[in-house]
Amino acid sequence: MNSTVLKLLTVACIATALIASSGCKPTEPAEDPLRPFPHKPVGIMGTETELTAVARASRAEKANTALRDAEHALRNVEAKMSSWMEATELSQFNTAPAGQPAKLSEITLGLLRLSKQLAKHTDGAFDVTCRPILQVWRKAKDAKQAPTDEQIALAVSKCGWDKIELRTDSAVKKADSASVDLGGIAKGFGIDQAAEALQNAGISGGMVNVGGDIRCFGKRAGGGKWRIGVRSPFNGDPTFAIVELSDGAVCTSGNYERFFEIDSKRYSHIVDPRTGRPVNKAPSVTVVAPTATAADAWATALSVLGEAGLELIDEESGLEAMLVIGGPEDYRLVMTPGFDKLLAESPSDDR
């Protein structure tokens, strides 16, 4: 080793010793904690929407961009699949004459195919072709007069997948009266699309909440699982049950918020496509599933089927369900074997 190198090493050692003896330490990077970035877009699917991205404080721009992507995904689903908005491709299909192919996007056709499979799997309890029945009851609600048995029977006769043909890039009605309402599954599908948008943007944890139906993934900003409150169907208590999830969806369906009255009689907004009449087997049904699409659809199906519908759930599906049966004074809970394991031991305001 030459003398010049030796001198440099000596100086470096002396400097290191002086720093150590003086108690000085190299400057550490400033803290960059995980924090929630909330976003509450308005005017989506007729209900309240809350999107949350969990990211480092220094990645605020990335988080906000991801949230805008998630909002766009939700609005895109609504713009294609709403049966209330006249310009959507689903509305154009509903108003098309029999025999005329209605061109549909890949995601709408995909959801229709899934809905057709679910109709078969649930013995017709979940059937998006039941729009003629829903229209009868909407008119009854506005007129404050229950439909007649003949009106209900006629509406039921207009429903069924035998009246619709799904093609590669289009769908064709076999009867002018056939029509579809994706209200029992499109919201869940939109939630999944929004959650995927967050994940595709590199967000490690997040939540999509549309009208109380939720999909979450990753961890909360404070660490740990997401805690999702299930409201009581009787008094609205948000701590009726708390579900803890790291990755999955929770959807609740019931007659305690969306209902109408005719001659002092309460009717649920959920109808049995097989009978054409509103259901009352379970005031509340909560389903936990890998996707919000599945949770949304099965919450509707189990509202129609009641307790007996639990037998139709495949063990490999990853679905768990909790049904509230009875009234405020005598209700009981019916759960799949794995649902109890998802419940938190103590209530929390976190959601």
Q: What is the pLDDT of residues 168-195, one digit of tens each?
A: 999 999 999 999 999 999 999 999 999 9
Averaged pLDDT, 271-288: 96
The two structure tokens encoding residue 111: 């959801």
| Same domain flag for 112 and 204 | no
Question: Averaged over 233-254, what is the pLDDT?
Answer: 93
Distance in Å from the first CA to the final CA of the chain: 66
Q: What is the value of pTM for the model shown?
A: 0.89
Report the domain count for the chain. Answer: 2
Contact 49, 210 (CB under 8 A): yes
Is 318 found in the same domain as 211?
yes
Q: State yes or no: pLDDT of 13 exceeds 80.
A: no
Q: Is 160 in the same domain as 220?
A: no
User: Where is the domain boundary, 110, 139, 173?
Assistant: 173
pLDDT at 60 over 50: yes
Answer yes or no: is pLDDT of 33 > 70: yes
Extract the tokens encoding 8. Answer: 């440099």
228, part of any domain: yes
Whether residue 72 has pLDDT greater than 90: yes
Is the model's pLDDT at 258 over the cut of 80? Answer: no
Provide the 10 A C-beta neighbour count for residue 320: 24
**Is residue 18 assigned to a domain?**
no
Least reliable range by pLDDT among 105-119, 236-250, 255-269, 271-285: 255-269
Say if residue 135's pLDDT is above 90: yes
CATH number for position 102: 1.10.3980.10
Minimum mean pLDDT range among 174-188, 243-257, 304-318: 243-257
Lowest mean pLDDT, pick from 29-33, 238-242, 345-349:
345-349
Token pair in block for residue 307: 């307790």
Range of the domain at 297: 34-68+194-342
Residue 84 has pLDDT above 60, yes or no: yes
254 three-class SS: strand
**Domain co-membership, 331 together with 217:** yes
Q: Which of 140, 173, 206 is the last residue of a domain?
A: 173
Q: Are residues 264 and 137 in the same domain?
A: no
Specify whether 245 is located in the same domain as 301.
yes
Q: What are phi and psi of 215, to 5 degrees?
A: -125, 130
Alpha helices in the chain (DSSP H): 3-22, 60-81, 89-95, 106-121, 131-143, 149-157, 186-200, 292-305
